[in-house]
A and B are shown apart, each in its own frame.
Chain A
């Protein structure tokens, strides 16, 4: 990309994706599970949005609903997912989940990598086969060109001998290499958004750091936006421009990285920050600093979802109404009755 284009893109901080009032429910026998309940956020071009929250808060379901791959019996019941695509605006939430339009976006405009590098590649196809498949699906090029491009991608993600690796199977690769292959696959069609759902959680700490470094580099090189999902605020600090904190299907705080770390507003976010492990300790944390456990998101009581665990909870207010996400200072949104 030449210099002029780059500056134009950099100066114009255009929005890439807007999620508005997204609700994704699972219709289970035991009742309706509100995995994502009225979540809104934006992500700008070339920006990295980190999504944090405890297990089960709906991070993955949010990601899945953007690609429209929420598993049965989950359904996107309300909301808009607006993708700005060279001048056009597409509402992904309106598309047929198995239709042609969303399929043209998956892997091409929006690519995704997953937590489990062990199982996210097919055990009986070579990695080259699987990467080339994505390339051939979305680009109008020949088999041999696709192979060239695949080799190039494998090289770019730091796989040392791509000519050998391209014809290997996933069980011949280590976890770190598999995740690199996944990244190569995701970036092979030059997507404008990469969704990374805990891409390093299952890896060794040293490998985690390498993969994170790689993603930062590639983001600079390819210029895509990233939604980076993790439990780990340390990782968020490394890579994100903005942070969305989720709790039980709700977005409870959304701000840029400095605000979140230096001026957290929501009691939950404050608790999360206290639970960050010190340097040298294991990077994965169970968030012990916040007492109590997350209630199951079935039959939730009225009021704020964090009420039972909140230090600042006020009876008569917090257990009566649900606070909405309001902008407290510019770009810093929080949903808590402390800030009204």
Chain B
């Protein structure tokens, strides 16, 4: 087991390294660099035209005139020492920008995950044990709608409904008067009023998918012989259900909890833009548009890191939950 954990940690480092290469390439992929994006913007927005020398000077300042591999190794070197660099566009340290937004992003993600599981699991279980009942059809329809409706549309619909029936406008995470205020009880309460919509919007597709998965997995398990063995023993139906088939069916689901993390964050980007949420999604979006290398790269790396950690936690959970896998792993 310890050996397994150590090996997994080593893999994680390798994967993070590879991801940094991929992140770097993706950011560099569009033609041009930060300076050319900046120049183009100056030109189109303000009609200013920069002189050739100026542009060369700028390229030197920002270091984009160096060869790719030099840029990459400098970036990686800084990153590995905990230095995330500067945002070219906003002229602020990346670490500050992220520190402002990451906690809220993580909070929304965690709440959305809880929402996903709190809704998806019970409905999925119900659907399976009452297969072909009205409730099952209902949840199937809900599942398909939840999957098919794009996040931003759901966000708009919910915003409208909340505004219409609860009477408060829900964009962003804070009301105007708290926007720039420091933390207080009032701001806290205000935030919690704003949280349901993003949490529901971001959590719904996951919940819909989970209903389908849970239903499918549990239906498979319910047919298995060991369920009948348990019933023939004289166990009560509900005890039996939760001790045996549900326990077996949730293993693969728990093992994918970690994978939902990046999905929630990327799914959250559009929602966040629509809802005007101060999360990392819109920041990343903006940074990618402007080819703000160090900012975009840092956010991508942090997201990758969370993903890898999430997967790691899932794998460990699965090993703890499923003796078959524990056995396999310890045998290797």
B-binding residues in A (CB < 8 A): 67, 69, 98, 103-108, 111-112, 114, 116, 119-126, 130, 133-134, 137-138, 169, 171-172, 182, 185
Q: Given that A108-B234, A137-B234 are known contacts, is A124 also in contact with B229, CB under 8 Å in the complex? A: no
* B228 partner residues in chain A, CB cutoff 8 A: 69, 114, 120
Contact A122 B248 (CB under 8 A): yes
Please name the residue on chain B nearest to A115 by beta carbon.
B225
Sample of 16 A–B contacts (CB below 8 Å): A69-B228, A69-B232, A103-B236, A106-B234, A107-B232, A107-B233, A111-B232, A111-B233, A112-B232, A114-B228, A122-B229, A122-B230, A122-B244, A123-B248, A124-B248, A134-B234
- Closest beta carbon of chain A to B229's beta carbon, Å: 5
Contact B248 A137 (CB under 8 A): no
* A185 partner residues in chain B, CB cutoff 8 A: 229, 233
Contact A124 B247 (CB under 8 A): yes
Contact B229 A121 (CB under 8 A): yes
Alpha-carbon distance between A138 and B234 when the two chains are bound, in angstroms: 8
* A67 partner residues in chain B, CB cutoff 8 A: 232
Q: Among residues 292 to 332 in chain B, which have CB atoms less than 8 Å away from a CB atom of chain A?
A: 321-324, 327
Q: Quick one: which of B225, B233, B247, B324 contacts A137, CB cutoff 8 A?
A: B233
Contact A171 B324 (CB under 8 A): yes
A-binding residues in B (CB < 8 A): 224-226, 228-237, 243-244, 247-248, 251, 321-324, 327
Contact A114 B229 (CB under 8 A): yes
Alpha-carbon distance between A120 and B321 when the two chains are bound, in angstroms: 20
Alpha-carbon distance between A107 and B233 when the two chains are bound, in angstroms: 4
Number of A-B pairs, beta carbon distance below 8 Å: 73
* A182 partner residues in chain B, CB cutoff 8 A: 229
Contact B233 A133 (CB under 8 A): yes
Alpha-carbon distance between A114 and B232 when the two chains are bound, in angstroms: 10
Alpha-carbon distance between A106 and B235 when the two chains are bound, in angstroms: 8
Alpha-carbon distance between A214 and B311 when the two chains are bound, in angstroms: 48
Contact B234 A116 (CB under 8 A): no
Contact B226 A103 (CB under 8 A): no
Alpha-carbon distance between A122 and B322 when the two chains are bound, in angstroms: 11
Alpha-carbon distance between A126 and B243 when the two chains are bound, in angstroms: 13
Please name the residue on chain B nearest to A170 by beta carbon.
B226
Contact A119 B234 (CB under 8 A): no
Contact B237 A114 (CB under 8 A): no
Contact A104 B234 (CB under 8 A): yes
User: Looking at A108, A130, A185, which has the most chain B CB atoms within 10 Å of its CB?
Assistant: A130
Contact A124 B232 (CB under 8 A): no
Alpha-carbon distance between A138 and B229 when the two chains are bound, in angstroms: 15
Contact A169 B323 (CB under 8 A): yes
Alpha-carbon distance between A168 and B193 when the two chains are bound, in angstroms: 51
* B224 partner residues in chain A, CB cutoff 8 A: 119
* B237 partner residues in chain A, CB cutoff 8 A: 98
19 other A-B residue contacts (CB within 8 Å) besides A105-B234, A107-B233: A98-B237, A103-B235, A108-B234, A111-B232, A114-B228, A114-B229, A120-B225, A120-B226, A120-B228, A122-B226, A122-B244, A124-B247, A124-B323, A125-B243, A134-B233, A134-B234, A171-B324, A172-B327, A185-B229
Please name the residue on chain A nearest to B230 by beta carbon.
A122
Please name the residue on chain B nearest to A135 by beta carbon.
B233
* B234 partner residues in chain A, CB cutoff 8 A: 103-108, 134, 137-138
